[in-house]
Structure 1
Amino acid sequence: MYGNWGMLLRIDLSSGQMYDWHIDEETYRLFLGGSGLASRLFFQLKGHEAEPLSPDNPLIFLNGPASGTNFPGCSRVAICARSPLTNIWGESSMGGWFSRRLKGTGYDGIVFTGASPHPVYLLLDGDRAELRDASHLWGSDAFEAEEALIKEAGGGRAAVACIGPAGENLVRFASVVSGRGHLAARCGMGAVMGSKNLKGVVARGNAKCRIADEAAYEKAREAALRNISGSLFAEGLNLFGTAGGVDLSSAICDMPVKNWREAQWREGMEGLSGVKMADTILTARRSCYACPIACKRVVEVREGDYGMPGGPGPEYEGVGSLGFMLKIGDLNAVAKANALCNAYGMDAISTGGTLAYAIEAFREGLLDMGVTGGVVLDWGRPDQLIELIHRIARREGFGDELAEGCRALSWRYGGQEFAIHVKGMECPMHDPRALWSMALGYATSIRGGCHNRDTNLGLEMGMDDLSEIGFPRTRPYRSEGKAVMTVHSQAVASVCDAAVICVFAWKGAGSSLAMLRDMLNAVTGYGLTLDDLLEVGNRIWYQKRSICNLCGAGRSDDEVPRRIIHPHLEGEASEFLGALNPLIRVNNRLMGLIKSERLLAYVKSFHARVLLRNTFRTVNAAGKLLPRRAPRSRRAPVKGGEARTRGGVDFHSMLEEFYRLRELDENGHPGASVLERYGLGDVSRVLHASENPACCNRP
C-alpha cells in the first residue's frame, strides 16, 4: 500500500485496551482518508446510535494519504465524532505539526471509544502506545498542557493535540488545540474529548509512507510550489494573514455586523483589518509543516487594558465573530479575546455568535440581569466580552447557559429569529446576502452552518474555477445555476477534506482539481480520473448526509435564519460583488501570463504596497462603475417579530433544485437508488429501515 499505512490504533478508554485496526485498500480508494474515511468508519461503528457526550460516541483522528509528505498544505488532521453542539455528524480539522507526527508513528489515525474513569493522555511514540495519567493537568489551559505534555514526552519531535478547561467542562463548542494557534475549532470535538476524560494526545513519530511514483510526486509538488510563489492570494495571506480579507469582505458587505443586522461597518474594517494588525501588534509570521505561505500570525499587545504576551493572532473568523458581530472595534481587545478562546480551547465563531444573540435578546427584553448575573449586555463592550469568555469556559453563572450555544438559548428564552445558526452551529462570517450560494451551502452542509464544506465562497468571488470539470460561472445576486454549482462544489470540498489538504494552500496553488488528482495518484498509485474524484466526493457527501439523517436531521433542518437572506435592518448593502469577481479573475489570468521573475517580483510588490492596503477603496471605486440595479425591498415593521420583507435571497428555489439534483426525498433522505449508485447499499438499508427520527432542529 502506498500513501497510507493501512492501520489505525483503536483504543477503548473504559478498559484501557488497545489494538491495531487494519483497513483494506479498497476502502481507502473509495473514501481516501480524513473526514471521508472517518465517516465510513463512524457508520460501521454505529456512532449515530450514541449520544454525543456518551462513552459510545467514537472519536476519530484521521490523516489523509499525503499527510506526512512535504506537499504544501498536507499538514492537517481531521477530528470527527457526533457533535454535542449540533447532535449530528461533526468534523473539524487543524494544521500545524500534529498530522506529520501522528502519521510518522506508523498509524493513519486513532479511534477512541469508551471513557476513562480518570483523566488520561495518550503517548504515541513511534510504534509504542501508552495511556498515562493526566490528573495533574486537568484544569490547566491548552497552552500550559501542551508545554507540560511535550516535556513529559521527552521533547524533541513531539506534537500535541489537547483540550483546555472548555473541553473539560463540556462547553458544547469546545475545541481541540495544537501548537498554541492551531485549532480544530468547530462542532465541539473538544467537549467529546472532555467527556472521555482524554486531556490530550502526544504523537512523536518521524516515519514516512512509501510514495507510488516519486518522479510524478515531485513534478506535482514543484508545480504547486511554483503556482504558490506566483499567487497574489498566497502573498496576501503571508503579509496580512486571513484577516487581510476583512477589507475585501467589508467592501462587498460579506462581513456580518451586529448579529447580522447591519450592512457595513467601515470603522470596524479600518480598526480590525489584517493591514492594521501588521502595522501595530504583529511580531512574527508562522507556517504549518511544509507550507511556504506562513499565514499564521504572532501578535503582542505591550500596553493598555488588553496587554498580552506574544501569541497567536486572530484569524478572519475571529476578527469577525469577536469584533464585527459585537461592534467591538478595538484590535487589542479582539486579540486578547481570541487568545483566551485559544487557551481555553473554545471556538471563536460560536463564542461570538452566541454572545451576539445574548446581547440582542437582552436588548429585546428576553433576558434580564437576573438571568445574566447582573451583567448589562450591550454592543461595543470589550470588557464584557473578556469577562464572559472566562465564564463560558468555566461554566460559571450565566456562562453555563452560554456554553450551550445560541440555539439552546433561543429555545429557552425565545428570539429564534435572531439566533443565527444552522442545525445548531453558529454561522461563520460570510453573508449570503452578498454571496447567494452561501445560503444553500449553509443549509445543506453536513455539519451545520459552514462555508468550508463547499467551495461556493471562492467560486462566487472569482478565486476558484470549476471549468476543468465543465461547470460554467454563475452570475452574482441570481439563483440560476447556484444549486448545480453547490452540488459540484460540495463534491470538490469533500475530496479536499478527505485528502485533508489546507484550502488556502490549494487556492494558492491554483484551486485545481487536476493538481489534486495528480498529487493523489502519485502518492497512492490509484490512477484516479477527475470523474473518479468527483465520484469519491459525492460518495462521501452521501455517507455523511445519511449519518445526519440517522441522527435526526431532515428536510425541515435544511433552512437558514430569515434574517440572513433578507435585506439588512440597518444600512444598505453595496452589492459590489459584480465588480470584485471580474477583478479577481482578470488578475489571476494576468498573473498566469507573467514569465519574468523580475516582473513577477515587481507586480507582487505593487500588490502588497498599494492594492492590498487599499482593497476597500479599489472595490468601491470599481463597484461605482457598475450599472445601477433596482433598489432592494425595504423592511416593513411588524408587531411581535422580525420585519416582513419582499425580495432578498431566492433561497427556496435553490433548495428545491438542490433536492432534485441530489435525489433527496420529502424527508431530506437520499433515495435508495442514489445510495446504491455510490456503493452505499448498506447505508441505504439502515437508513430506510429506520423510523424517521425526530427533527434535530427542535427542542
Structure 2
Amino acid sequence: MTGPLNGTFAPNTGRWVICAKSPYTSHWGESNCGSWFGAEVKKAGYDGIIITGASEKPVYIEINDDEIQIKSAEFLWRRGTYFTTRKLKEIFENDKAKVICIGVAGENLVKYANIISEQRAAGRIGMGAIFGSKNLKAIIAKGSDLNLDVANKEKLSIAIKKARDYVKSSLASHILGKFGTAATLDMYNVTSELPIKYHTQPKWNLATKLSGITMAETILVKQAFCHSCVIGCGRVIKINEGKYQTEEIKGPEYETICGYGSLILNDDLESITHLNMECNDYGIDTISSSGVIGSLFYHFDLGNIKAVDIDGLKPEWGQIDVVQHLLKKIVHKEGIGKILAEGSNFFAKTFKISEDEIASINNLEITYHDMRSNFGMAIAYGIGPRGPSHNACDAYYTLLGIPLDEIGIKQIDTHSDGKEMAEFCSLLMDYRALYSSMIMCSFCNPLPSQNAAILEATTGIKFGLKEIKSFGERITNIKRLFNVKMGLTPSDDYIPKLLLRPFKEGGSKGRTPDFLKLKELFYNYRNWDPVTGRPRTKLP
C-alpha cells in the first residue's frame, strides 16, 4: 500500500507498507519500507496492490502504468536481490523503474525473510516468506502520471512547504543527515541503551569504532535519500581495499550495526558492512538474523550448547567468520541453519533453553534499544502491535526532545514507570500507527498540526488535532483486535527475564522497568480488558 501522501512530496512520505498475517509471529504483520517503489506504483495509478493465491511456477509482476503482466521468473529463481533488480531493469529497458523482490531466503521460506527494494528492506515479520510461498519473485513498477488527484492543490503546496522547512531546520534532521541512524551510538553506549554481549553488558570500550561518526570519517561516500526525503539518513559507502573491499553500496543502519556488532562483540565496521550486503542479497532480516545468531553465541558461551550440536562450529564472541557460515546455513536451511531459520524461540525449544533467556517477545526478536535505559521501550516491546518494534512506539527517539506537545505527548523522565509513561506510550503508539497509514517516516516530525493540514488538503477529509489522535487510536485498536482474533492473550504481553535484570554498572545502573505495573497502567489508560486483552469501548 502506498498511503494517501505518497507522490505528493510531503516530507519523507515516499515509503510503502506491506501487510499480511505474519508467518513468523502468527499475528499482525506489517513492514514499512523506504526507497522509491511506492511512488512509482502511485504514479502508475494505484493506491495499492492486493495479491491472492499462489502461482504454480516462479513469476514476477510487471506494472507499466495501466498495463499489468505476470511473467515467468524461473530465470531469476535462486538468484540474489542485486542480480534480480538489475536484470529486471535491463529487461524493462528503463533504469528508472523500481523493483521489490525476494532473495534465496524468501524462496526457502525462512520465517524472517525480507522483501528488498533498491537496497532498502521491508523486514522483521517474514513478508519475504509470503512472497516465496506464492512463488512471487518480484514486482517491477513504472508510472508516468505526475498529476496526483488531491482535494486542494494550493493549500497542499503551502502545507507541504511549511512542513518541509520545519523538518529541514530541526537539529535531529541535521544529525541524521550527517551521521546516519548510528549517529547516537556513542551516546547509547554511555546510557546503556546499546545492546552489548546479547543484552548482558552495560558498556563496551570498543563501541565507538562502530558509530555513525566513525563511518563518516572512514568509509562514507555520500547520503542516500528515499523519495521526497528531506533528511537523507541513508549511507552510501565504499571500502577501497582489504577483505571486504567493495564498490559503492548502501551502508548498514544502526540496528544492523548493533546486531552484527555490539551484540556479538564484533568491532569491525567493514565486516558489518559486508554482512549487511549479504543479508540484503539473501533477502533476510538483519535484526532477527543477528538476534538468532546472537542467542547462539550467548548460549554457546554459557555451555548450553556444544560445537557438536551446531555442525562443529564454535561461535565465540567476535568471530565474524562463524557468523557468515551460520548466515549461509540459515538461508539454505542446512544443518543447524534449519533450526535457526525458524527463529530464536524454536532454537530455545530445540535445545531445552528457557524462553526467559531468549531476547524475543511473541516469537519475534527485539530491536536494539535497551529498555533498562528507556522504560518506554518496555511497552514498545512488550505490547507492540506487531511484536517488539522500535518504530511502533519510538520512546527512545521521541524522548530525545521531539516536540509533540500539540497532541499531549510530553517530555518525561525516561526511567518513569508510572501513569505518565503509560499515557506517553499510548499516545505515541497511536501517532505512529497513523504514520504507518499516512505513510511517513518516523524520523520526520513536522508539528502534528502541520501533518493535519497536509492530510486535509490531500484527502478533503476534515483533519485537525482531534482527528490526528482519534484516527491513530482507531488504527492501534484495530490491529489489537486482529491479534486477539489470531489468539493473542494478555499473558503474551510479556518480557523475558534476561532483558529485565538490572546492570551493576553503566548508564542504567540498578534500573529496570516494572513491566507488570506499566502493562496494567497501559491497559487502564486504553480501557483494554485485562482478561481478554480487547479494547472494551466502541472504537472512536
* TM-score, normalising length: structure 2: 0.96
Please name the residue that 1:491 is paired with. Answer: 430
2:490 is aligned with 1:555: yes
In 1, Cα distance between the equivalents of 2:79 and 2:132?
13
2:217 aligns to what? 279
Q: Is the 8 A contact 2:377 2:393 kept in 1?
A: no
What amino acid does structure 1 have at the position aligned with 2:126?
A: G
Q: Percent identity?
A: 32
Relative to structure 2, which stretch is displaced further, 212-221 or 131-140?
A: 212-221
**Equivalent position to 1:184, from 90, 99, 122:** 122
Instruction: Please state how far the C-alpha of 1:451 moved relative to its aligned partner.
Output: 1.3
- Whole-angstrom distance in 1 between the partners of 2:327 and 2:410: 45
Q: Provide the residue aligned with 2:227 in structure 1.
A: 289
Does 2:248 match 1:384?
no
User: What CA distance in whole angstroms lies between the structure 1 residues aligned with 2:84 and 2:326?
Assistant: 23
Matched with 1:649 is: 513
Partners of 1:247 and 1:161 in 2: CA distance? 34
Name the structure 1 match of 2:43: 104
Aligned to 1:27: none
Asked if 1:168 is matched to 2:107, the reply is: yes
Please tell me whether residue 317 in structure 1 is matched to residue 255 in structure 2: yes
What CA distance in whole angstroms lies between the structure 2 residues aligned with 1:361 and 1:456? Answer: 30
CA contact (8 A) 2:110 2:126 kept: yes
Structure 2 match to 1:677: 539
Counterpart contact for 1:245–1:274, Cα < 8 Å: yes
- Provide the C-alpha distance between the structure 2 equivalents of 1:84 and 1:70, rounded to a whole number of angstroms: 34
1:466 to 383, 387, 404: 404
3-state DSSP of counterpart to 1:187 = coil
Which residue of structure 2 lines up, in the alignment, with residue 565 of structure 1?
500
Aligned residue among 480, 498, 511 for 1:545: 480
Q: Secondary structure at the match of 1:670?
A: coil
Q: Tell me the CA shift for residue 441 of structure 1.
A: 1.6
The CA deviation string for residues 254-294 of structure 1, in whole angstroms up to 9 with x for no partner, is 111011000011312x2101111111111222211122322
Post-superposition offset of 1:651: 1.4
For residues 200-248 of structure 1, give each alpha carbon's deviation from its aligned partner in whole angstroms, at most 9, with x where no partner exists.
1111112242121122211121112222332221111121111112122
Separation in 1, partners of 2:83, 2:38: 21
Paired AA for residue 38 in structure 2:
S
Give the whole-Å Cα distance in 2 for the aligned partners of 1:471 and 1:495: 15
- Helix, strand or coil at the partner of 1:137: coil
| Residue number in structure 2 paired with 1:247 | 186
The answer to whether the Cα contact below 8 Å between 2:18 and 2:122 also exists between their aligned partners in 1 is: yes
Offset at residue 321 of structure 1 (A): 0.7
Match of 2:98 in 1: 159
Matches within 5 A, 1:504-515: 504=443, 506-507=444-445, 509=446, 512-515=447-450
Letter in 1 for 2:288: S
Contact preservation (8 Å) 2:404, 2:410:
yes
The residue that corresponds to 1:689 in the other structure is none
Task: Provide Cα deviations, 1:423-465, integer angstroms capped at 9, x if missing partner.
Answer: 1111111010000011012111011111111242233222x23
* Secondary structure of the structure 2 residue equivalent to 1:170: coil
Q: Distance in 1 between matches of 2:95 and 2:319?
A: 43
In the alignment, what sits opposite 2:375?
436
CA contact (8 A) 1:492 1:513 kept: no
Residue 212 of structure 1 pairs with residue 147 of structure 2: no
1:369 to 272, 295, 307: 307
- Could you tell me how far apart the structure 2 residues matched to 1:536 and 1:520 are? 12
Letter of the structure 2 residue corresponding to residue 435 of structure 1:
N
Aligned with 1:135: secondary structure?
coil
Deviation at 1:490, TM superposition (A): 1.0
Q: How much does 1:89 deviate?
A: 0.8
The superposition leaves residues 22-51 of structure 1 with CA deviations (integer Å, 9 ceiling, x where unpaired) of xxxxxxxxxxxxxxxxxxxxxxxxxxxxxx
- The higher radius of gyration belongs to 1
Gapped regions of structure 1 (runs ≥ 5)? 1-61, 576-630, 633-646, 679-699
Conservation of the 8 A alpha-carbon contact between 1:76 and 1:500: yes
How far apart in 2 are the matches of 1:200 and 1:471?
A: 40
Find out whether 1:350 has 2:285 as its counterpart.
no
Alpha-carbon distance in 1 for matches of 2:354, 2:294: 12
SS of the residue 1:113 aligns to:
coil
Task: For residue 471 of structure 1, report the CA deviation from its aligned partner.
Answer: 4.3
- Give the SS at the match of 1:453: coil
Q: CA deviation at 1:667?
A: 3.5
The answer for the alignment partner of 2:441 in structure 1 is: 502
Aligned residue for 1:618?
Answer: none
Matches within 5 A, 1:33-182: 62-180=1-119, 182=120
1:529 and 2:493 correspond: no
| Residues 361 and 415, structure 1, Cα contact 8 Å, conserved in 2 | no
Inter-partner Cα distance in structure 2 for 1:67 and 1:205: 13
> In structure 2, what is the Cα distance between the partners aligned to 1:466 and 1:193?
37
Residues 6-28 of structure 1 show CA distances to partners (whole Å, capped at 9, x for unaligned) of: xxxxxxxxxxxxxxxxxxxxxxx
* Counterpart selection for 2:527 from 663, 674, 678: 663
- 2:141 is matched with 203
Deviations 1:471-526 (A, max 9, x none): 4432231212111111111110111111011112x23x4xx211111111111111
- Tell whether the 8 Å contact from 1:141 to 1:164 is kept in structure 2 after alignment: yes
When residues 309 and 402 of structure 1 are mapped into structure 2, their CA distance, relative to the original with a 3 A threshold, is farther
What's the offset of the Cα at 1:665?
A: 2.1
- Cα contact 2:63–2:69 (8 A) shared by 1: yes
Q: C-alpha distance in 2, partners of 1:342/1:320?
A: 16
Q: Report deviation, 1:370.
A: 2.5
Unaligned runs of 5+ in 2: none
Structure-2 separation of matches of 1:284 and 1:310: 10
CA distance in 1, matches of 2:67, 2:266: 48
Separation in 2, partners of 1:404, 1:455: 27
SS at match of 1:259: coil
Counterparts of 1:228 and 1:666, CA distance in 2: 39
Secondary structure of the 2:46 match is: coil
Contact 1:446 1:545 in 2 (8 A): yes
1:142-166 C-alpha deviation (Å, 9 max, x unpaired): 0110111111222143110100011
| Whole-angstrom CA distance in 1 between matches of 2:512 and 2:178 | 36
CA distance in 2, matches of 1:522, 1:368: 61
- What are the Cα deviations for residues 355-405 of structure 1, in whole angstroms up to 9, with x where unaligned? 111112222233222321010111111111122222211222211211111
Counterpart-to-counterpart distance in 1, 2:299 and 2:53:
38
Residue identity matched to 2:539 = R
Distance in 1 (alpha carbons) for counterparts of 2:481 and 2:505? 40
Q: Which amino acid letter does the alignment assign opposite residue 662 of structure 1? A: R
SS in structure 2 at match of 1:431:
coil
Return the offset for 1:119: 0.3
Return the TM-score normalized by structure 1: 0.75
How many aligned positions are there? 537
- 1:669 deviation in Å? 2.7
Q: Distance in 1 between matches of 2:225 and 2:22?
A: 29
Q: d(CA) in 2 for partners of 1:565 and 1:476? A: 15
- The structural deviation recorded for 1:573 is 2.2
Q: Report the 3-state secondary structure (helix = DSSP H, G, I; strand = E; otherwise coil) of the residue aligned with 2:50.
A: strand
Q: Is the 8 A contact 1:566 1:649 kept in 2?
A: no
| Counterpart residue type for residue 170 of structure 2 | S
Matched, 1:398 2:336: yes
Letter in 2 for 1:652: L
Q: Per the alignment, in what secondary structure is the counterpart of residue 435 of structure 1?
A: coil
Partner residue of 1:476? 414
8 Å contact kept, 1:284–1:298: yes
